[in-house]
A = this chain, B = another copy of it.
Amino acid sequence: MDFSRYICRKNFNKMTQRTEIASLGEFGLIERLSKDIKHYHKSTVKGIGDDAAVVDMGDKFLLISTDMLLEGIHFDLSYTPLKHLGYKAIAVNVSDIAAMNGTPTQITVGIALSNRFSLEAVEEIYMGMRLACEDYKVDLVGGDTTAAISGLILSITVLGTVAKDKIVYRNTAKKGDILCVTGDLGGAYLGLQALTREKQVFVANPEMQPELDGMDYIIERQLKPQARLDIIHELADLGIVPTSMIDISDGLASEIMHICKQSGVGAVLYEDKLPIDQQSYDAAINHFQLSPITCALNGGEDYELLFTISQENYEKIKQHDQISTIGYITDADKKVALVMRNGTTVAVQAQGWKHF
């Protein structure tokens, strides 16, 4: 390393060359940063590129995933109760372990906060975390607490385990496999719309009562998402190992694209098969003038699981009320196609979330 200049005057000014991160996007940035990374341990089975990294522990695989949640970027405390925030921070990390067909075991929590936050506020966050740890049976084993200049930042790392012959990656979908999704889609995004609108009303007139009748489901989807560990256990009971899997954090379209791109396949999905809750459907149409299908395809944060299974397993899941079969895997040259109710076919675009 070059220690010839300790005072980095160039940090005060612009660097010689400047490429905006926004021009690459999050996925482009990750691709760029991970390309020169070398591994030194043969225990490292999988690095960057899936829901969790995979480490060989002898008789099983260890899974590791990490997520940062920043106030003003990932959450707005004017409508997010601190307890819910703590719960959600754990749940979304557990979801990454579920997406590898694993079971979460331990978690570490980094928390940075400005002096705007009192001890009571931090205890609210931890109360939500403890509830989630109880629901998902995960042990909070460590962390870091520090001051921040402004706002609240949570950084969670979750560990999990999975039997070596049961691990499921993103890049192993095969032509002919059936595309499945758990629960229903678009609700979390619509809940966010409801909360954002309500905040605007409140800011304009703090005396107004919130108008959230009939929105309890979509708001719960946004504020307190669940990791679908229940499905992981049920698939195990049914003797099914998915051929590929990912969790839906950025929206169904974006996640299907990940599976297809990484597996070198295409997919066909059917509009009339996409699972949308009645309340989500009504809220989209009546309150927000949004297409329910667009919300299901591109709304993020549902934390449901998207997975593929071999056709031979179809009979085992076709009656499952929490699993919808929404399409099938094709050759790569077919890309990702959506068959509409009227029979026309459109190419699916991944919108996803753009933080940068």
Contact = CB atoms under 8 A, between A and B. Distances in A.
A143 interface: yes
B106 A202 contact: no
Contacts of A80: 8, 11
Given A64-B142, A356-B115, A8 B77 contact: yes
A37 B130 contact: yes
User: Which DSSP category, helix, strand, loop or mixed, fits chain A's interface?
Assistant: mixed
A202 B16 CA distance: 21
B47 A142 contact: yes
A356 B55 contact: no
Nearest to A138: B40
Given A65-B142, A78-B11, A58 B57 contact: yes
Interface string A2-43: 010111110110011111111110100110110011111101
A110 B52 contact: no
B19 A53 contact: no
A314 interface: no
Given A11-B78, A19-B119, A119-B32, A355 B146 contact: yes
A66 B155 contact: yes
Nearest to A124: B15
Interface string A96-110: 000000000110111
B122 A29 contact: yes
Interface stretch (A180-188, A215-223, A319-327): A215-223
Nearest to A28: B119
Number of copies of chain A assembled together: 2
Interface in A119-149: 119-123, 126, 128, 130-131, 133-134, 137-149
A188 to B, nearest CB: 14
Contacts of A67: 110, 144
A112 to B, nearest CB: 5
Interface string A294-337: 00000000000000000000000000000000000000000000
Nearest to A79: B7
A199 interface: yes
A48 B12 contact: no
Contacts of A228: none
A289 interface: no
Interface of A: 1, 3, 5-9, 11-12, 15-24, 26, 29-30, 32-33, 36-41, 43-44, 46-48, 52-53, 55, 57-59, 62, 64-68, 70-74, 77-84, 87, 105-106, 108-110, 112-113, 115, 117-123, 126, 128, 130-131, 133-134, 137-151, 153, 155, 157, 159, 195, 198-199, 202, 206, 210, 212, 216, 219-220, 223-224, 355-356
- Report the 4 A-B pairs with minimum CB-CB distance, sorted nearest first: A53-B141, A155-B155, A53-B142, A19-B119
Given A8-B77, A68-B146, 15 more contacts: A11-B77, A11-B78, A12-B78, A19-B120, A20-B115, A20-B119, A21-B113, A41-B106, A53-B108, A62-B159, A66-B109, A66-B142, A68-B112, A70-B148, A70-B153
